[in-house]
């Protein structure tokens, strides 16, 4: 929460600390949430001794169920929990330490796999957009700070930049938590990628004024079987304006974000957060930032007593999405269809 003005490392030594880091948004981004949850329990287990395999499995299941309550929308968390439970449940042994070690090794493999998947997403997405000099726009933060590394939508931006195809990336402030203005700006500045910040409400005007913008690229917290996509609030309106202006609208997500058990976006549970995140703005005193001394301040924006609606995500219908890019490749709709066949993509078809 101190970014972009200060980098602080928080020790996560057990599942309780992991749960707090996720629910308080010290860590956010669907892939990162899953990795933090998995590794927080791995850190806890590394200090424990189990006499029997049954006691190890009971503890692991209990803590994973607890971690599942941290945030409800991102499917990556639940996908990781399912896989971790399966790994320990199918380990044939009476030795509790073997079950413990199986869990820890599985969590570490998830970390490595996420980075590899993100780099593959970047390559596929850059291929889709092309080799010409282009400008793109992205929303929220989908980079290293939201994943195990490299990023999903921002991974595509990185790949475009690496191959010399990126003229500029525009990125939204992403109200009310300002993940774009704080986190995406931090990543882009650090890597010296040409970029420009825009207000959430300025995107339609930007698309009309800048014909070089080839695509809007966003991440995903959950992709339903038909391609409907839950992502950071404001994504849906970006898809609408992209369609009106003839701009590609691309979703970048690992297959761990695909939920084939959810038929459509109508079945996705949308997290609603405290209205204070809209009514009150939190940041650092400007003069202090310039002088290198950080002082966090809260500013009451709306009149006291104002009510606010604060959904953390919205659902973009598949009809408005041009393509979904995963580590396995590029998913497009069949001619005449308004939906994606995500089950077929997961089967390798």
Catalytic residues: 221
CA distance linking residue 20 with residue 33, whole number of Å: 11
Nearest to 142, CA basis, from 32, 68, 248: 32
Please say whether the beta carbons of 67 and 39 come within 8 A: no
Contacts of 100 (CB under 8 A, 6+ apart): 45, 46, 48, 50, 56, 60
Handedness of CA 42, 230, 193, 128 (dihedral sign): positive
Contacts of 296 (CB under 8 A, 6+ apart): 282, 283, 284, 285
Q: Name the pairing type of β-strands 329-331 and 323-326.
A: antiparallel
- Answer left, alpha or beta for residue 282, where phi above 0 means left and psi between -120 and 50 means alpha: beta
């Amino acid at each position: 929460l101190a970014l972009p003005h200060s980098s602080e490392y928080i020790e996560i030594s057990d599942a309780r600390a992991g749960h707090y880091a996720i629910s308080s948004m010290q860590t956010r981004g669907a892939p990162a949430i899953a990795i933090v949850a998995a590794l927080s329990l791995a850190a806890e287990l590394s200090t424990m001794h189990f006499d029997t395999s049954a006691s190890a499995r009971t503890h692991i299941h209990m803590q994973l169920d607890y971690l599942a309550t941290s945030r409800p929308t991102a499917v990556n968390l639940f996908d990781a929990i399912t896989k971790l439970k399966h790994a320990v449940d199918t380990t044939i042994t009476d030795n509790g330490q073997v079950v413990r070690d199986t869990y820890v090794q599985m969590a570490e493999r998830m970390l490595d796999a996420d980075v590899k998947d993100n780099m593959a997403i970047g390559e596929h997405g850059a291929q889709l957009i092309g080799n010409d000099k282009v400008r793109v726009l992205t929303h929220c933060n989908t980079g290293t700070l939201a994943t195990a590394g490299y990023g999903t939508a921002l991974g595509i931006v990185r790949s475009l930049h690496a191959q010399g195809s990126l003229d500029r990336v525009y990125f939204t402030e992403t109200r009310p938590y300002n993940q774009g203005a704080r986190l995406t700006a931090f990543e882009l500045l650090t890597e010296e990628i040409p970029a420009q910040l825009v207000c959430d409400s300025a995107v339609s005007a930007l698309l009309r004024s800048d014909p070089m913008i080839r695509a809007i690229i966003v991440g995903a917290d959950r992709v339903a079987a038909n391609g409907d996509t839950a992502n950071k609030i404001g994504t849906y309106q970006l898809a609408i304006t992209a369609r009106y202006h003839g701009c590609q609208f691309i979703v970048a997500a690992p297959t761990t974000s695909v939920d084939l058990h959810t038929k459509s976006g109508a079945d996705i549970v949308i997290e609603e957060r405290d209205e204070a995140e809209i009514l009150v703005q939190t940041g650092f005193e400007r003069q202090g930032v310039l002088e290198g001394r950080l002082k966090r301040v809260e500013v009451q924006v709306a009149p006291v007593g104002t009510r606010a609606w604060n959904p953390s995500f919205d659902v973009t219908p598949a009809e408005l999405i041009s393509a979904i890019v995963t580590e396995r490749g590029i998913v497009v709709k069949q001619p005449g269809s308004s939906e994606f066949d995500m089950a077929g993509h997961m089967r390798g078809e």
